[in-house]
């Protein structure tokens, strides 16, 4: 299973102080990677990093706002110069805001675009500039089942996740000739803090269980295998792909 071994590699996971990002950071650490955890809140980041270190993993903390282009580049450049090369990037930071499209506040639309799309460009570009110089690197962007499907009240979110998938294809097109592998993971409905309101809604959960062939919510640990695969030598010829991990929801009517 050496194809999946991440020993000796450094992995930056944005938005990794909780939820999916935290689970992916832990999963890559268990596969052997040194982890760089990121969040805007230094206190929450420190708590999450300490928990991972307590399990015996090597963890760095890198607090920055993924929506701040200049701040992102400065943080990445400083880390590369002072600590070491980032071999794997998982662009996980994101947000959700639900309301009918006709009532959707313009400021929230702009915030959603910045958090879900601009961040992928900001961090992806800053890290890729270093990866290109080394002729190798892995970038994994977290898309969504909403890359393909829409639901009432989340039209802007759907637009942002469609953009993430298309930006991933663009990254692969520009950067694969330079040695990078750029792919995306599209989670279905997972029990995360972002979905807490839906998980607590008995009617929605009942609908989801009927709508999903697997018949249940996903567990965030079930995303780890996909992330390890796309981070490892097992996927050297996979580029520009969006891997749906959704219990089959996009496969059926």
Are 155 and 104 in contact by the 8 Å Cβ rule? The answer is: yes
Are 55 and 27 in contact by the 8 Å Cβ rule? The answer is: no
- pLDDT score, position 168: 98
- pLDDT score, position 193: 81
Q: Does domain 2-243 have CATH number 1.10.1740.10?
A: no
pLDDT level of residue 91 (50, 70, 90 thresholds):
very high
* Residues whose CB falls within 8 Å of the CB of residue 110, separated by 6 or more in sequence, listed in order: none
Domain residue extents for the chain: 2-243
Instruction: Report pTM.
Output: 0.97
Please give the mean pLDDT across all residues of the chain: 97
Give catalytic residue positions: 157
* Residues whose CB falls within 8 Å of the CB of residue 1, separated by 6 or more in sequence, listed in order: none
pLDDT at 151 over 90: yes
- pLDDT score, position 1: 82
Closest CA to 178 of 223, 144, 219, 139: 139
Task: Tell me the DSSP string of 109-139.
Answer: HHHHHIIIIIHHHHHHHHHHHHHHHHT-EEE
């Amino acid at each position: 299973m050496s194809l999946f071994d991440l020993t000796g590699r450094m992995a930056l996971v944005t938005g990794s102080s909780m939820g999916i990002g935290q689970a992916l950071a832990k999963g890559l650490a268990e596969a052997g990677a040194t982890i760089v955890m990121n969040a805007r809140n230094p206190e929450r980041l420190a708590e999450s990093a300490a928990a991972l270190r307590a399990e015996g993993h090597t963890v760095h903390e890198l607090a920055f706002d993924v929506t701040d282009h200049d701040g992102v580049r400065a943080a990445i450049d400083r880390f590369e110069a002072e600590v070491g090369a980032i071999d794997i990037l998982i662009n996980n930071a994101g947000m959700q805001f639900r309301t009918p499209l006709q009532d959707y506040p313009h400021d929230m639309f702009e915030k959603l675009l910045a958090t879900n799309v601009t961040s992928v460009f900001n961090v992806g570009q800053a890290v890729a500039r270093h990866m290109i110089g080394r002729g190798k690197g892995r970038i994994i962007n977290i898309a969504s089942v909403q890359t393909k499907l829409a639901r009432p009240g989340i039209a802007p979110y759907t637009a942002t996740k469609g953009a993430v998938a298309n930006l991933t294809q663009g990254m692969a097109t520009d950067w694969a000739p330079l040695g990078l592998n750029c792919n995306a993971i599209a989670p279905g409905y997972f029990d995360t803090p972002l979905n807490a309101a839906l998980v607590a809604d008995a009617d929605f959960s009942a609908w989801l269980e009927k709508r999903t062939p697997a018949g249940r919510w996903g567990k965030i640990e079930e995303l780890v295998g996909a992330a390890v695969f796309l981070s490892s030598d097992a996927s050297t010829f996979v580029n520009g792909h969006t891997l749906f991990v959704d219990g089959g929801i996009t496969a059926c009517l």
